[in-house]
Structure 1
């Protein structure tokens, strides 16, 4: 149910929502109190796991808060506020994992949870096809937090609501009859303790402001939309305030109107210049997921799929052209997967590695216990669990396409195209279960003629196969063109888990890519 702007703000003033976000109080809980609580839970869980027969055990205690505000035109449509807390215990018994979780945070339940995890591991023994061998992980005691200037949960709801409505007003003033916008904020406090002696505390903030405008043509009944190009980020409310929403809203409205008049694309082989706002998703789906080691061994075949990349391809497969280098990391400022430690307790320094180096495939992503599958001494900090009730699995760190060593501009890439298309913004996408054959759309498309941008196009999708596509890359933008995209909800696992991940990208040029016309009359 939606309420008008006036009534919404009146309700805030009257104190019907408690004078602000109910999460504000939760966010200001004494950190030392939660730290002490987590330490007591860890002592109880780890002692019980050891007594019950676990050779290794770890505990995660999570406190998560989220807030979603959405608006349509001149009214606030939705306010969702949620909190959750709980713990999960993972144990290794004779080479087999066991896991159990509870939302009750007291030592007695932590102990029972640990004992139950051991029983699960023993029951799993008859199903185990490969025993887990853990590498050595240095014991650490540490604290870390995402750098922020303004805690989003400390900002009053009325101020955030006013900001959303201002964004919508700008879009409507620019001629867009329909406009939706939202702010999504997540705050997660995570404690990790292991039987090897680690005790880690990390605090994460994730902020996602978004806008979608829609223009219509009453004569034809057609409509066209354009969403904001701002990605989610590991940041506070300052991320919202740093963006020029007036310019974004007005440009989005203009682009949506122009899309109504755009001419259909002519299908065929084209050279493409792909903007980072589109290419980040292609990188994510074709390179990020295809280089996950659990996929290569079939552990995700039942849901997320497998991969065309084989363990024997490491150091041999010519994955891309020589100019392409793709790096993993957990230390990129603003990165959604940035952390001091992954959910195995592995330090972030292990997550800085090349996935592709000068076109050659070099490394898989791995969680704890997977490195021995391919004869390596340790994993590379690629573990994540969505919440306390989820077993940590291999998930992407930040994965980024490295810029050209030269100062190459977007204009220079376009100038090298005689007949092609420039693509901006992510759109629909499809890829097979082996991350091999794909099709990607976008938001904005422009024809390129003799090195110059021409008319806007519509109904564009590009299609290809992962390795030939990346080997067709013959131009990359320089460091000045670098842009950090990403998603809060990369899905994987059974039960499915969502993970946040960022991808740094530069504009890139690809030769001879198959372009489709997706229009009904094509």
Structure 2
């Protein structure tokens, strides 16, 4: 589906194995990168390219996974190379190499032009590239306090084994825990006159707890409520918990993995004893740790312009949000409370960078405004299709050896404008379910009809939490669901969730993206019992 596997994406393991200490060594000198890029751009022009860009990238990845009392695996990799994209005879061409020398970078540029000219022979219409000013020499870095790669592997292993021990001491039958870390050191140069150096950091700590009921043989699980983030190791510095109706759900700018595993172990014991839900219509109160995935699948994917146009179809389908709906100017995607924005700017988000992978400075723009579909996600060669004079800055490639293309930016639901706490929202619900954490999901090839599960489900009766439920999933279509939105908590509750490895394209690529929201209420949503046979 649109969301990749939540365990070990292949892109995290790609590259050459290195000693962890090598990740802290300086890469190629910036002046040398610029010199080599100029040689590539000149070679591309000499062969007939009307446009060219060069990406020299060093990608560091670390993955540590443990189970109960042992380490399951440790991976440290480095990937370094260059990708060159050109337009020649009106068509795109791309070539890449892991040999970043003067001779090889010139050959790679020439090969990219040859590919473009070959593509031009079967081209139906020439590339229309939105204008883009050159920025000269600029840089951007994720504002981190401590690089995850600077923390000794032993310290991370000790933390994860402590996590596992807390779960086992609490009665868990099985537990796995892991930390993923990524550092993208990316240099971009283009014939527009940009030389952009960026240092991007991301981290994702998570676990999964399982408890088997020996009497019945049944089991329950609970995953961590962490979110992958664009931060350093400081994300794992504990801050005080927040509670809603006595339920610990909130980890805002920091994450306490030890407190979360303690709560998770108690939760799986509760889930075993919880009553099975009665199917029917319920008002749903959805925590951001759950709602991010619904936003991802039902809003973010269907507003990707290449899906709308049918260019992206094989990997997770196209979109029901066709151009005629946008052109009408009055397509009611959701209720008037629904305001959804796209951006690559939010501090701490997975998508946060200064510039995208075709040298466009990142920004924020409206996707849904007052419930109306007003825009899509577009890059330089798509902008003209929807009448834009510039790219929206959402182009990305997972590595130097992959061609950049339109990828999802952060897509987020804006918090409510009026003061409203989660407790206040729950007090107004007569018959409802409060859902925390993401779970299984299914959505059709038009991103329209869907079903979502979760991690924790709490029955709401007459404005109060009445106990835990299980076997819960809700069904709706995208438009019906978002038009049932009746309340959104204010900015005090706003949090980010996200995907460390959102898949798209052929050959497939992985993208990291965040989705923010405050807790949100949806009225009269159909809930099914997943344990009952139909």
TM over 0.5, shorter chain: yes
| Contact kept? 1:65, 1:83, Cα under 8 Å | yes
Would you say 1:338 and 2:352 are equivalent positions? yes
- CA distance in 2 between partners of 1:264 and 1:26 (Å): 49
Q: Deviations over 1:67-115 (max 9, x none)?
A: 1111111111111111111111000113211111111111211111111
Q: Deviations over 1:173-207 (max 9, x none)?
A: 22223211111111110000001111000001111
Tell me by how many angstroms 1:381 deviates.
0.4
Would you say 1:159 and 2:155 are equivalent positions? yes
Q: Which runs of 4+ in 1 moved over 3 A?
A: none
TM-score by length of 1: 0.93
Counterpart of 1:275 in structure 2 is 287
- CA distance in 2 between partners of 1:478 and 1:134 (Å): 40
| Contact kept? 2:362, 2:394, Cα under 8 Å | no
- CA distance in 1 between partners of 2:443 and 2:506 (Å): 19
Tell me by how many angstroms 1:34 deviates.
2.9
Would you say 1:426 and 2:438 are equivalent positions? yes
Q: Deviations over 1:160-185 (max 9, x none)?
A: 11111111112222222321111111
Q: Deviations over 1:481-514 (max 9, x none)?
A: 1011111101111111100001111111111111
Equivalent position to 1:23, from 5, 20, 23: 20
Q: Deviations over 1:121-158 (max 9, x none)?
A: 11112332232111211111201110111111111111
TM-score by length of 2: 0.91
Counterpart of 2:188 in structure 1 is 192
When residues 392 and 49 of structure 1 are mapped into structure 2, their CA distance, relative to the original with a 3 A threshold, is same
Tell me by how many angstroms 1:521 deviates.
4.3
Partner SS state of residue 160, structure 1: helix
Equivalent position to 1:495, from 504, 507, 511: 507
Counterpart of 1:139 in structure 2 is 134
Counterpart of 2:97 in structure 1 is 102
Q: Which runs of 5+ in 2 are unaligned?
A: 1-17, 239-254
Q: Deviations over 1:429-471 (max 9, x none)?
A: 1111111111111011111111111121111111111111100
Tell me by how many angstroms 1:302 deviates.
2.7
Equivalent position to 2:332, from 318, 341, 349: 318
- CA distance in 1 between partners of 2:361 and 2:165 (Å): 46
- CA distance in 2 between partners of 1:259 and 1:300 (Å): 40
Would you say 1:129 and 2:106 are equivalent positions? no
Would you say 1:510 and 2:522 are equivalent positions? yes
| Contact kept? 2:344, 2:394, Cα under 8 Å | no
Counterpart of 2:243 in structure 1 is none
Equivalent position to 1:229, from 225, 246, 252: 225
Counterpart of 1:73 in structure 2 is 68
- CA distance in 1 between partners of 2:446 and 2:90 (Å): 29
Q: Deviations over 1:282-318 (max 9, x none)?
A: 0011110111111111110232321111223223211
Counterpart of 2:80 in structure 1 is 85
Equivalent position to 2:391, from 379, 383, 393: 379
Q: Deviations over 1:347-390 (max 9, x none)?
A: 013xx101111111111100111111122211200111011111
Q: CA RMSD in A?
A: 1.3
Would you say 1:214 and 2:210 are equivalent positions? yes
Q: Which runs of 5+ in 1 are unaligned?
A: 1-20
Would you say 1:56 and 2:20 are equivalent positions? no
Q: What is the number of equivalent residue pairs in this alignment?
A: 498
Partner SS state of residue 330, structure 2: coil
